[in-house]
């Protein structure tokens, strides 16, 4: 009688049974795991918008980290704002604030105006560089540091005052009065009252007393220097720019191409950032 190939002994049947049991257990485990909600994915979905913003910020800072130099946040251009990770709405808020003639004087005030996130502010704030006269005054307008002028005191034109007129101010003698007039002549006239702080040897308290009696009533017309075409000799004619700094500006321009924004001058190593607002009045692209 021929023996069937499909007959198994007791030991073989037991082995097949355990093999099938293992397969069923593995299939059941896989189904159970795959059918469970993925809490990690849910968390990622819930925070997707925040994660996108954070990744965008990290990428932006990483891409431009070598190009970030200390800067005055009052003068952020659209392109520079994009580089730093600011949105169009945040830049619009800053520009609207500046168009009203107001300045931000601290990182906190910058956040209040632009409404940037805490994480972005933490990244940008170390690069903020406010002028010295802003640091001395926490208000939005530097002129608020000047004491209210008495209605009984005649306010004279700072650009028409003689040395004798200036000597009426306590703390200004013949030397300082002559120095103020000489500095004014080299500028071609004061454009803003804050330029009085740039006169060498003139104490801040004396300046405040002077500005109670004098203010810029007639603003002179000045011929602005084209920063992208001017030679070092032409730049050095401006009282704020030494010849060494003028050569450094020209060298930077030759190596990096024309300046796309006056704010780019802050990339020049020796540029006096604290006087940028005044220097900017005399420059153009």
99 and 126 both lie in a single domain:
yes
Contacts of 6 (CB under 8 A, 6+ apart): none
The string of DSSP letters for 120-179 reads: HHHHHGGGB---HHHHT--SS-GGGGSPPPPTTSPPEETTT--HHHHTTSTT--HHHHHH
Residue 131 and residue 273 in contact, taking contact as beta carbons nearer than 8 Å: yes
For residue 148, the model assigns a pLDDT of 47
Q: Which residues contact 260 (CB under 8 A, 6 or more apart)?
A: 79, 285
Q: Do 244 and 273 sit in the same domain of this protein?
A: yes
User: In angstroms, how far is CA 27 from the centroid of its own chain?
Assistant: 59
In a domain, 22, yes or no: no
Q: How far apart are CA 229 and CA 96, in angstroms?
A: 31
* Inside any domain, residue 41: no
CA distance 213 to 190: 15
Please, what are the averages of pLDDT over each run of 10 residues along the chain (285 residues)? 58 76 82 62 50 55 57 79 82 81 80 84 82 48 44 78 88 88 87 85 86 85 86 85 87 87 82 78 84
Q: Is residue 63 part of a domain?
A: no
CA–CA dist 197, 143 (Å, integer): 12
Answer whether residue 56 is part of any domain: no
- Domain annotation covers residue 185: yes
Domain range for 118: 68-142
Give pLDDT, residue 42.
46
Q: What is the pTM of this model?
A: 0.46
- pLDDT of the residue at 82: 76
Whether residues 177 and 232 share a domain: the answer is: no
In a domain, 31, yes or no: no
Q: DSSP labels for 116-131?
A: --HHHHHHHGGGB---
Same domain, 207 and 240: no
User: Is 19 within a domain?
Assistant: no
pLDDT value at position 56?
56
Count how many domains the chain has: 3
Give yes or no: residues 76 and 138 share one domain. Answer: yes
Angle value at C-alpha 22, between 18 and 24, nearest 5 degrees: 115
Of 215, 239, 274, the one marking the end of a domain is 215
């Amino acid at each position: 009688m021929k023996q069937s190939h499909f007959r198994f002994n007791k030991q073989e049947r037991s082995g097949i049974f355990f093999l099938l049991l293992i397969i069923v257990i593995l299939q059941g485990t896989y189904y159970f795991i795959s059918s469970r909600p993925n809490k990690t994915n849910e968390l990622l979905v819930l925070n997707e918008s925040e994660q996108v913003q954070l990744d965008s910020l990290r990428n932006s800072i990483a891409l431009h980290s070598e190009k970030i130099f200390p800067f005055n946040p009052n003068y952020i251009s659209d392109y520079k704002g994009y580089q730093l990770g600011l949105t169009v709405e945040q830049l619009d808020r800053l520009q609207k604030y500046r168009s009203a003639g107001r300045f931000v004087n601290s990182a906190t005030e910058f956040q209040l105006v632009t409404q940037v996130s805490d994480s972005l502010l933490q990244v940008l704030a170390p690069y903020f560089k406010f002028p010295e006269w802003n640091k001395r005054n926490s208000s939005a307008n530097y002129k608020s540091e000047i004491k209210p002028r008495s209605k009984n005191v005649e306010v004279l034109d700072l650009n028409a005052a003689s040395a004798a007129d200036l000597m009426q101010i306590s703390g200004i003698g013949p030397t300082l009065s002559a120095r103020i007039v000489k500095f004014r002549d080299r500028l071609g006239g004061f454009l803003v009252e804050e330029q009085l702080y740039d006169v060498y040897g003139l104490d801040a308290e004396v300046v405040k007393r002077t500005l109670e009696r004098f203010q810029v009533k007639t603003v002179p017309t000045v011929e602005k220097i084209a920063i992208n075409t001017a030679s070092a000799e032409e730049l050095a004619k401006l009282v704020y720019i030494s010849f060494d700094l003028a050569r450094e500006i020209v060298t930077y321009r030759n190596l990096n191409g024309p300046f796309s924004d006056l704010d780019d001058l802050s990339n020049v190593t020796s540029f006096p950032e604290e006087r940028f607002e005044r220097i900017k009045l005399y420059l153009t692209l």
